Each structure stands twice: as C-alpha cells, then as structure tokens.
Structure 1
C-alpha cells in the first residue's frame, strides 16, 4: 500500500540532526517528524521537547516498531548503520541512512541486497546531489560550457585542530571501528559521490592510505585516482594534519576550453572560459539536507525517482575502502 504522508522516526538524534537535517522533516509537504531515539534518555527527551517531537525513545527497536512511524532516518555513527537498516527493512519501513552508508563495501552490499530483496526503499544521504550549487555544476558539465572534460583535481587539506569537521564527545570520527576509516570516511563520501554523479561509470581506480602523524588509529593521508569510462581522470588528495595556514578545500574541473573551480564546503563556483571569469555565488541553505529530504519524501511517496540508490552508496564505499 502506497503512503500518503511520511511520518519520520530518527535513530540517533545527535548533533548532526540539530540543524543540518532534523528541522527539515517538518518543513516539507506531506512529511513530519513524529519520533526520535537516542540512548541517553535526558538528551533524547531534551531534543524532542526543543524540536516539538511528540515521542522519544532510548531503544532503536521501540522506535522502529512504533506504528505511528512509517519511515526511518538513521543518523547514528556508521558502525550501527547496517544493524538498524536491516531491522527497519525487516519491519517493512523505508530507510534514509546517513553517509557514509556504513563501515565498508561488504556491509553496504548486504544492506542493498536486503532492500532489493524485500522491495523496501533505501536512500543514501549524499545530499549535496540535491543542492542548487552542485546541480548548477552538473549542468555546466553536461552543457560543455568548458568544453570536453579532461581531468579533475581535488585537494582537501585540514589541520588536526580544524573547525570544519564536526566534533563529538567520543571523537568517534577518528575511530575506524565506529567510523570506518577516520576523517576521510567522514568528508570524502560527499566528494567521491559527486564525482560519480558528475561523470558516470568508473573504469578503474587506485590510491594509498597512510597514518603519518599517528594522532589516532585512523589514516590521516589518503589519495584516490579514478579513471571514468568517458575518459575523465580524477586525482584527489586528503591530508588532515597540515599547518593551519595551509588548509585548503578546492576542486578544479579542467576542460578543453576552460575550468570550473569550487569548494565542496563553500558556496561559490568560478567558471573560467578563455579570457572570461564568472563567480556564481549561492545562498546558504539553513538546513543543508532539506533539498535531498524533499526528494526522498517524493520517492517514498512514489512521486519521483530514488535520488541516491543504495547501489551508489556501495560504489562510494568501494572507493572509500580503496579496493
């Protein structure tokens, strides 16, 4: 039976849901947030009261089995994504799961097989796909504004004390057993997914990972090289232990007639064609996942396609794993 309204339950109503995603569920037509879950009872209750959510839980199973909830948003650290996704699918409820999809590609494949085998909808939160800035970049590429695309250069350099990466009490992002692979696994899913979204099927890839500074168990220097089937070549470098003065976040797409430059975490796109240069500035989005969540709601209501199928999440995990 098709749904007429999406009544969301959030598993893991932590910091990532405070502004980025949580409020958006009540700002979209035919969508509402009706329940939240967090293991800390005081924090779960506080979140529910502040956001006007009628029900809160400390146990994920109770939220999944709540008859008022008909769709699940999983916003816990990646280490529990598979467990909760499989439980939600078993309950017959569609799932929107945060990026990275899970800990590794094998886990992602199990999640995908469970969704496809049961016919339950599953969408991965590679939400930059739905934002106006990246839709504009894709349009510029598709319309060959800078000619035929030759190669892409991406540099993500951050200091060990940067303010870009979300902080948490447990610092789980630097614990591979919980995050899958450190800060690379936290930030690179956005970047790698966009490359696939922009350029299509991948022919081959390679890379290396090093733990140079040994500030945690996670690798802090990573490279990825991708050859797409259309001949575009991607080179990406991530380092999370540079000097503060050397921090950088830039992606440059080179074509036969010009270049497109932008920051993955910024709001300006620079288009250079021959002697002309144009800066396109985009308004900030109060809740950065809202455009994606709107597409997910439409998909769950059978009013649109899946904005990021689990198969794309698997590919992202394969690229993160590096094998």
Structure 2
C-alpha cells in the first residue's frame, strides 16, 4: 500500500520541517497541497514538485488519489479538518498542539473513536535519535528516575517578529490556545509523558507579566507521574536570557539535555561523565512521518495516538487555565 498525502495548510512549518520528508520516505508520496491563498498554494506545489494544489480543503479531502491527510493549519481548525478527513475515510497526521484545549481534545478523541479513524499527533521529537537516546539513558543508566526539572526561557520578541503574520496567530489564544507556551511546551510535555508514562496529578500557574501581547508569557507547573517521578517546569518568554535545559535525576545518576537546541546529552553516574552528540536533522519530522506511514500501512504501531495528544492538552490546561 502506498500512502498518498494531501497537506491542508502549507505554511512555514511545512517548508523544511515536514513537507519535503513526505517525498523521501519509502511508500510515501505527496500528491496534493492546500492553502486558502491560491497563489501561495500554487507556488508551494511548484517549488516542491507537488502535482496538485487546492485553495479549498474539502476539495483536497475529496480527491480520490489522496488517501492520507496532514493537517498543518493553526490549532483552532485542527478538529474541523481532522473530522472531515476521517469522515471521508482517510487517516490523519495532525500537527501539535492537537487542538486548543482539553475539552476540544476530548471531543476529537470521542469523534475518532466513533468513526473508527486513525490519528497520529505530530509530537515528532519522540522519534528522533537524540530523544531516543535520552529515553534509553533514563531507562537504563541512572537507576530509578526521581526528579525531572525543565527550564525554558526566551528573550522578548522583536517588534517586527511580533507583527509578522506567522507569529500573530501563535500569540492569539483563540487561534493557538495560549501563545508561545502552547506553541512550544507540547513538545516538552509530550516527551515527559513519553519517558515516564501515565500521570497522577498536574497543576500550575500562568500569568502575563510583560503585557506585550494578549497571551500568557510566564508559566510554572508540576506533574506527578504514576511511577513517582516528580516533574517541575518553568517557561518565561520575557526575560534577559535564552535557556533550554532539562535534567532528569535518578537514584544512581542524572541525564541533562535540551529540547530545542540539541545540546550534547550529558550522562553522569557511577561510571563518570559522558556526552552524546547528534547532528541536526535536515527535516526534523522525517523519522516521525516514517513511523506514521508504517502505522497507516498497518505494519507498525501508532507513534503518538490521539489519547496521548489528549494527555498533553490536559497538562497544558492544568498549567495555564488560570491565565490572567
């Protein structure tokens, strides 16, 4: 079985991170793309060698050649397009965050279960070699994991970036769910769930400190996992330094790594200190898309289910639903 993809929403994220990968994976072909701006849809198709383009999403979904759909629009339309694709009998690869809040995630999960459709969520870091190594080190080289601490800080966005169209929807809670936190934290929270399993409890606090835009810009939260690991995370998008670090401390050692900057992974245990380096991937979603293709071809498991996406949304809401 060949997977013949149609992409709904060929914006910036699809130019390098994901779009080209669909053509590089065995049994995978990108046959159609859609964007509401017809000129931009046509341009994307011509630049990437895609035979068909549309300015109407339903036309792409109804295309008989398309047998799988990648939804890469802003999160407020994810549920609508995913549902339409599943109703047409086509499996869905859905960008993160899954939707804009926990309630909408629950509704989409229930819709998927009722329709019997397939959804994979694009928490693509879990399939990258860098994070597979982190998972291996946590599982086998630090004893029993006890504590996970994450800090992610950014300097305030420059005025011209704030005004860019690609950033404005991210900073609009109605479209994105909650600003830069909702854009970036899903990757980090998903990795914690991937590493440590089911959650017992999560709670946090969010606030708009700098008032540069309507969304929250500072978040702090904690998760207690069923295996007794306690996670603490802190995000700030209004401070004087950039920082991207997560440390997992166990009964016999620790692992330190980054989520976005791919700094060398550091392992410290009784055997001493080691570092593990990985080259950046040219198309960061390629390993995940390869796993999704196998799942859609019924020869592999789902690399990130809608149920797992729902868990991430529940954490985001528990951290930031009190936003003020």
**TM-score normalized by the length of structure 1:** 0.95
Structure 1 equivalent of residue 155 of structure 2? 159
Runs of 4 or more, structure 1, over 2 Å off, are 165-168
Partners of 1:237 and 1:284 lie apart in 2 by 25
Pairing of 1:81-160 with structure 2 (within 5 A): 81-143=78-140, 145-160=141-156
SS of 1:293's equivalent? Answer: helix
Pairing of 1:1-323 with structure 2 (within 5 A): 4-143=1-140, 145-161=141-157, 168-170=164-166, 171-243=168-240, 246-267=241-262, 268-274=264-270, 276-322=272-318
Shift of residue 168 of structure 1?
Answer: 4.6
Shift of residue 161 of structure 1?
Answer: 2.1
C-alpha contact (below 8 Å) 2:252/2:269 kept by paired residues: yes
Once the two structures are superposed, residues 158-213 of structure 1 have per-residue CA deviations (whole angstroms, 9 ceiling, x without a partner) of 01127xx9995252111000000000000000000000000011011110010111
C-alpha contact (below 8 Å) 1:213/1:220 kept by paired residues: yes
Partners of 1:111 and 1:71 lie apart in 2 by 18
Q: CA, structure 1 residues 235+155, in 2 after alignment: closer, same or farther (shift >3 Å)?
A: same
SS of 2:64's equivalent? Answer: coil
Partners of 2:226 and 2:111 lie apart in 1 by 29
C-alpha contact (below 8 Å) 2:71/2:81 kept by paired residues: yes
C-alpha contact (below 8 Å) 1:89/1:114 kept by paired residues: no
C-alpha contact (below 8 Å) 1:152/1:233 kept by paired residues: yes
SS of 2:184's equivalent? Answer: helix
SS of 2:165's equivalent? Answer: coil
Partners of 1:285 and 1:204 lie apart in 2 by 34
Once the two structures are superposed, residues 250-297 of structure 1 have per-residue CA deviations (whole angstroms, 9 ceiling, x without a partner) of 000011222100110122211111472111001111100000000000
C-alpha contact (below 8 Å) 1:37/1:57 kept by paired residues: yes
Q: CA, structure 1 residues 166+56, in 2 after alignment: closer, same or farther (shift >3 Å)?
A: farther
Gaps of 5+ in 2: none
C-alpha contact (below 8 Å) 2:76/2:100 kept by paired residues: yes
C-alpha contact (below 8 Å) 1:12/1:36 kept by paired residues: yes
**TM-score normalized by the length of structure 2:** 0.95
Gaps of 5+ in 1: none
Partners of 2:239 and 2:297 lie apart in 1 by 46
- What is the aligned length? 315
